[in-house]
Structures are given as structure tokens and as C-alpha cells.
Amino acid sequence: MAPTPPDGRAGIDATLVERLIHTQFPRWSGLPVTPVEVDGWDNRTYRLGDTMTVRLPTAAGYALAVGKENDWLPRLAPALPAAVPEVLGEGAPGEGYPYPWSVRGWLKGETAERGRIADRARFATSVAEFLLALQACDAVEGPPAGEHSWYRGASPAHYDDETRRCLTALKGRVDTERATAVWDRALASPHHGKPVWFHGDVSEGNLLVRDGELAAVIDFGTSGVGDPACDLVFAWGWLGEEGREAFRRTVRQDEATWARARGWALWKALLVLSECADDAERALRCGRVIEEVLADHERFAA
């Protein structure tokens, strides 16, 4: 009997991974398969033995990233100052699983939670230096921002309708007049620079640390070539004022780029806040990001 097709996250489990490895990579068959301690939403990740991971998209929209990462990560890695995932195998749909998938090298480190950072200003500087190195990589043949990057690297105007719906829904919980001014400024500040490589999701969950320092950057699923403003969203949330200033100094972007970055940060925080009414901790984090973005706008964009 054919295996039951997986249904998003719920249908991906260690048994499926073992079958896929057995049929497509028999040289690794028999190695233990275990879930990672901290997993993402777009992909499910499993340890394969001691030195590898298996990464499987949870839906068709996320599967668009697999070929892109497999193709570009080996080209980008030599120019970057921190480790990125090493592609060891490219898996095909099978065993009832409908999407491409990959085998990666295991990267040592822990996600960059606040308590694991030795010095936030130094850490912010390291992340900025990584982004500058990424932007310096040859972008001529890179994938232009679009559906595969969830439109990161394109204009935040792609999410204009969604953002304005959130502003309406959150009236009374958010200072919508100030937030609208931030959003309008973002849309009125188009990108005129040359397209460069961007990561698309620079966040604590995608930054790995060892001994309090940046060790690796993972999950290039939303990466591509376009406007780097989306990568500046990292500035707000938990860096603090000192870390944010160090990041700003090092990443060297103009005010128009920062205006678009504030738009990206505001869009995501408003969207999550509108969907997390029952999650007080997430709502608190989103509210903090929104307040920092509004204050930043009034400080620099006046």
C-alpha cells in the first residue's frame, strides 16, 4: 500500500524521513533520525546522524526555495564571514511526500536569544558585516525578488492592502495615525540602487551563536536579489538602543532604505499582532517592535 500523503507539518515525521533517506540516499540509511530542538514553520528539520540534517518544506510555497538554496548557497558561502548551510544532497518528491527537500551539514550553535549574546553591540556589528559581505556577492545571475522570496527584496507596496487592513483592525490598540505615517513614508521612498543579495529573514532564530558570538546564518529560503531594506528589520525588537546604533553605523544605508525597512518591520509586526490576540507574549513583542519603529521614524525621518 502506498504511504499516506503528508498533510503540511502534521504529515512530516521521522519515519517519513527514514524512508526518504533509505530510498534516495541509501549510503546514509540506518543513521538515526531525530527532530531538532528548535524547529521552524516553513520547513521541518531533523538530525541525520551526528553531522547532517534533513530539511523538508511544509507547503508548496516554501518548496520554491529548495532549488534556489541548493544552487546558490555553495556559490555564496566562500565570500561570507560566518558559516551558512552546506548542501550535501538534493532530495526529490517520494514516499508520498510531494516536494523537493535537502540534506545539509549540521551547523554547531544555538539560536541567538538575548541571554546568549555576549555583547549586543558587537553582535549587531557582526550581523551587519555579514549583510555587507552578502550584498557584495555577484548578483548578476541571482534570483530577482518575487514569489519565491515572499516579495522580500521588492517594494513593501506589495503588502499595502494587507497593512492597511491591519491598521484598521488594530485601531485602539496601536497608534494608527503614527503608524500610517511610517507606512506612507516607506511607500514614498522607492529603491533606486542596484539590486544586491539579501537574506530576507534576518532574525534571532536564523542566527546561530557560539560562545556569545555570531557563528552561522541559516534559512536562506527568502533570499534573492533586490532591495536590501528588508534585512534591516533586524534593528528593532531586542537589540536595544546601543546594538541598534552599532548596526546602523556598520550597515551604512541611506535614510530612504531605512524608511522602507521601517515599513517592512511595521507590516510584519502589525500582521502578527492582528493574529495573536490569545498570545500575550507575542503581542508584547510585536507592540515593542511597533513602538521602536515609530520612535525611530520620528527621530530620523522628521
Phi-psi region of 207 (alpha: psi -120 to 50; beta: other; left: phi over 0): beta
Residue the block writes with cell 546594538: 243
* SS3 state at 89: strand
Q: What is the CA radius of gyration of the chain?
A: 20
Whole-angstrom Cα distance, residue 66 to residue 146? 15
Whole-angstrom Cα distance, residue 264 to residue 298? 16
For every residue of 48-70, DSSP letters joined together read ETTTEEEEEESSHHHHHHHHHHH
Helices (H), the chain: 14-24, 60-76, 120-135, 160-169, 176-187, 240-251, 255-275, 280-300
Q: Which of 218, 216, 220 is nearest to 108 (CA)?
A: 216
Whole-angstrom Cα distance, residue 300 to residue 302? 6
Task: Please enumerate in sequence order all residues whose Cβ is within 8 A of that of 74, keeping only pairs 6 or more positions apart, or say none.
Answer: 86, 87
**What CATH number is given for 110-300 in this structure?**
3.90.1200.10
18 touches 67 (CB < 8 A): no
pLDDT 10s digit of each residue in the chain, 302 long? 334 444 445 589 999 999 999 999 999 999 999 999 877 778 999 999 999 999 999 999 999 999 999 999 999 999 999 999 999 999 999 999 999 999 999 999 999 988 899 899 999 999 999 999 999 999 999 999 999 999 999 999 999 999 999 999 999 999 999 999 999 999 999 999 999 999 999 999 999 999 999 999 999 999 999 999 999 999 998 898 999 999 999 999 999 999 999 999 999 999 999 998 788 888 999 999 999 999 999 998 76
Question: Under CATH, to which class is 8-105 assigned?
Answer: alpha beta
The predicted structure's pLDDT at residue 9: 59
The predicted structure's pLDDT at residue 130: 98
Task: Please enumerate in sequence order all residues whose Cβ is within 8 A of that of 193, keeping only pairs 6 or more positions apart, or say none.
Answer: 227, 257
What are the boundaries of each domain within the chain? 8-105, 110-300
pTM for this entry: 0.93
253 touches 232 (CB < 8 A): yes
Domains 8-105 and 110-300 agree in fold: no
186 touches 263 (CB < 8 A): yes
Whole-angstrom Cα distance, residue 126 to residue 29? 38
Q: Which of 184, 172, 216, 219 is nearest to 199 (CA)?
A: 219
